[in-house]
Structure formats: structure tokens, C-alpha cells
Structure 1
């Protein structure tokens, strides 16, 4: 996809507009809900802390914008029963999607089966909500570990695999994304992909869309199969569509 305006329009429709700042307030979330309703169409979802899901559900009623929230976040090693309880409460409050961090420290210690086991439990606790498994590729680093994490998350039943929390030094990269999208392709399963953190410009977004087109076929990337996790990139995407003089890249996650 070469036309920047076409890329920007697609990216907005696939955007999980995110505020996972430690100092986030309910008013910040209500403002995020407003930002998600752009003159060029709505974002796919917002991604927020669990405690704000109910307020966002009311605010977004009738818009079609989905609500994603996070569990086992960001470290990946919360008590499993607490993770299940938080998942159930978030869904009861109105969450449509659960972005869960896999227990990547266990994977680093050689316990790969812990990944698929926890993903499976969260899927069960979430009922019909969509599960995005966050691999934290910047901590796994090694290609073989990233591939293994992707395979284990898919085996556990994840509906999406996501690169990063945005809370570590290295977040989404094209090299880690390629490993994950190859794992999706090779699994033969209907699993989506979400790069998160570090997607700052319209060109960045286009690079990830192009990667999916290359490995999974032209047009594969839709809001049902592809998301971008970001906060600041919306400014850049809107500037592309409006021929504006906004910053060349968005600020933040």
C-alpha cells in the first residue's frame, strides 16, 4: 500500500487508541473516547486500564468502538487467580477485548508450556471477549524465543498476538513482527496481529501493513485481523489525511 492517505485511513480504522499511563484519570479516558471518534472515522478500539472500563462503556455507547483492557500487565507474573478475577470483572464491566501479558519470564527460564496454559485460562475466563496475547518481544529478544512465544500463545487460543506492553525499552520492531506474522501464517489459524509501542508515523503504520500483505496476502489487514497499539500516532495519521503541518510523528506510546 503506497498511498500515504490510504495507509492513514486504514491505520485509523485498525487503531487501538491507548492510554495506559500510570497517572491516567477517568477524565483522561473520557477524552480518549472523544479522540477515538475522528473526522475520518472511528478507531477500532481504545485500550485502557480495567478500572476505567465501565465509564468508557457508557461514553462509547452506540459508537461501535470496542473497549480493550489489560491484565497480567505489565510484568506477566501476577497471581493467576487474580488475573482470572480481573478478566471476569473487566468483561462484566463491558470490555470487549483483553490484552494479556504472557508469563514471558517463565518462558525465559524454559517453561514454555506456562504460556499456552495461562492464555487458555484467560480465554476461558473472558467468555466471548477477544484475547490478545502480549509477548513482550523486547524482553525475549532472541528470534527463537519470540517464535516460541507466538506459537505457544496461538496454541493457548489467543485471538491476536501482540508485540509489546510499551513499558519496556524496546517495543514493536519489524524484525519481531515478521517472526510473529510468520508464526500466524504457519499455524494455519485465524489469528490477528498487533504491533504496539513505537509506531509513530504514517510510514511506520504502512510498514506493518505491508508486512502483513507480504506474508498473509493483500488486504489481510482489517480491523478484525490487524490492530496498531498506539497513543500519539493518531496525530500523525490525521495530519496525513488533512494535509496538515502537525508533527511528522506522534508523541507518546
Structure 2
């Protein structure tokens, strides 16, 4: 796959994201304007819950709106997560990115984490549910696989690497373990989302290749592959314009 082909895949699978503490209505206006590019639209815009209604009103129906719940700490608090989800749904979002209680999982509370995810899945239907397992904090491959299994068993539509708020975000090693679990789950529609620290087409390409290897060519589609990023879009557009890599800057882990 050429760099331009990779850039086109990244663009159509991009969740253009702004999850900074200082985000304002003006931030979201600018984000939504960027989502409709000269080379086509991104898959979705991902924002804090309080900006969902604004983003939905600003975007065409072809661009989905996602928001985060239980974010970024991933507390084992079902009531809080469900309240976040209900507010996000009522504001008009189509997708929810929820944080798996990864600290509880590390403490051996697999049963409680599974119950949490089941409640979250029930509350979020029929919206698309992406479960953030925070793979950089789980570290161990066996735990990453367990978090992926629990999420898939609960009915998650996507398994996502990271919040972008911890020292280690997406890594290719974690992605491969997650993709392997998705491939062997028997769930033909389940997808993968890489997020945090992917800011160039060159950095995104190995994740595209890993997804193709695990799930097949047909999975290189926003229905099964997403990238959560802010700074990545500038590099995608530079590559598609034939200008090579852009000078990319981004705040936070995205």
C-alpha cells in the first residue's frame, strides 16, 4: 500500500478528536470545520459530552459524533458511566467511547469488570460502543488479551487502545494482541481502534497493516477500523496533497 493509499484509509477511518481540559465552543466549531476536508470527510468527531449537541448540529449526517464516558480514569462506577452514556445519547451522539475499569482488572476484579461492561452495553444500545482498555497501563499481553475478551463478551463494537491521557498510549504490540483476540472471537463485525500518539501517516501505517493481517482487507473500513487522533489529520492532508509529511503538532495524548 502506498503512502497515499494509507492516508486515504486513515482519513476515512479517523475519529477526529479533541479531549483537552481547555476545550470551548470555539474549539468544537474549529474541529467540526476540519472534519470536512478537501479530500473527504472523517468517520467521526470525538468530543467531551457537553459538546455533543453542538457537534451534531454542526456536522452533516455522514460524519458521526462520538463522546467519552467514564473518562479518563475508568472508575468501577456503573452509575456514573450509565449517567454519562444517557446524557451523551440524549444529546444526539451515535457513538460512545467508555473506559474499561482497568485498575480494577489489574486488582483481579475480572467478574466486576465484566458486569460493569454488561451494564454499559445495555445502557448504550443502539449506539456504537468502543471500549478503551488502556493497554499502556495494563502492559502485560495476557492482561491486554483478557481485557479485550471481556469487552467482546459484553458486546463491544470496537476495542480501543488508549485514552491518550497516560504515559503510554497505543503500541503495535498491544494492537496485535487485541486484533488477534478480535480475529479469534468469532464476531465478524467487531472492530479495532488505535488512539493516542499516532500523529503521522507513517506511524499509522503499521496499524493498518496489522489490521489487514488479522482481519482481512475488508476490515480497512470505518465500520471495523478507527484511529483516534487530532494532529494526524494535518499529515494525512499533506500526504494526499503530494507534499510529503507535514510538520505536526498536537496537544495532549492525541
Q: What's the TM-score once normalised by structure 2's chain length?
A: 0.95
Query: Does the 8 Å contact 1:96/1:129 carry over to 2?
Result: yes
Q: Secondary structure at the match of 1:155?
A: helix
How far the C-alpha of 1:115 sits from its partner, in A, is: 2.5
**1:152 lines up with 2:150 in the alignment:** yes
What count of residue pairs does the alignment treat as equivalent?
251
Q: Secondary structure at the match of 2:204?
A: helix
Q: Which residue pairs with 2:12 in the alignment?
A: 13
- Hey, what's the Cα distance between the residues in 1 that align with 2:11 and 2:203? 13
Q: Which residue pairs with 2:85 in the alignment?
A: 87
Q: Secondary structure at the match of 2:156?
A: coil
Q: Secondary structure at the match of 1:228?
A: strand
Query: Does the 8 Å contact 2:76/2:113 carry over to 1?
Result: no
Which string of whole-angstrom CA distances, capped at 9 and with x for unpartnered residues, describes residues 132-153 of structure 1? 0000001000111100000011
Q: Which residue pairs with 1:65 in the alignment?
A: 63
How far the C-alpha of 1:113 sits from its partner, in A, is: 2.0
Query: Does the 8 Å contact 1:160/1:192 carry over to 2?
Result: yes
- Hey, what's the Cα distance between the residues in 1 that align with 2:248 and 2:51? 28
- Hey, what's the Cα distance between the residues in 2 that align with 1:169 and 1:247? 24
Query: Does the 8 Å contact 2:17/2:230 carry over to 1?
Result: yes
Query: Does the 8 Å contact 1:113/1:152 carry over to 2?
Result: no
* Consecutive unaligned residues in structure 2, runs of 5 or more: none
- Hey, what's the Cα distance between the residues in 1 that align with 2:202 and 2:247? 10
Cα gap change, 1:250 to 1:148, in 2 (>3 Å): same
Q: Which residue pairs with 2:47 in the alignment?
A: 48
Query: Does the 8 Å contact 1:172/1:196 carry over to 2?
Result: yes
How far the C-alpha of 1:203 sits from its partner, in A, is: 1.4
Query: What are the equivalent positions in structure 2 for 1:111-190 lying under 5 Å apart?
Result: 111-189=109-187, 190=189
Query: Does the 8 Å contact 1:165/1:197 carry over to 2?
Result: yes
Q: Secondary structure at the match of 1:229?
A: strand
Cα gap change, 1:210 to 1:248, in 2 (>3 Å): farther
Which string of whole-angstrom CA distances, capped at 9 and with x for unpartnered residues, describes residues 109-142 of structure 1? 1111222222221121122101000000010001
Which string of whole-angstrom CA distances, capped at 9 and with x for unpartnered residues, describes residues 34-81 of structure 1? 000000000000110000001111111x34100000001001006321
Query: Does the 8 Å contact 2:141/2:174 carry over to 1?
Result: yes
* Consecutive unaligned residues in structure 1, runs of 5 or more: none
Query: Does the 8 Å contact 1:103/1:114 carry over to 2?
Result: no
Query: Does the 8 Å contact 1:49/1:70 carry over to 2?
Result: yes
Query: Does the 8 Å contact 2:78/2:120 carry over to 1?
Result: no
Query: Does the 8 Å contact 1:118/1:156 carry over to 2?
Result: no
Segment of structure 1 superposing worse, 243-252 or 230-239: 243-252
Which string of whole-angstrom CA distances, capped at 9 and with x for unpartnered residues, describes residues 167-198 of structure 1? 00000010000000000011111211000001
Q: Which residue pairs with 1:200 in the alignment?
A: 199
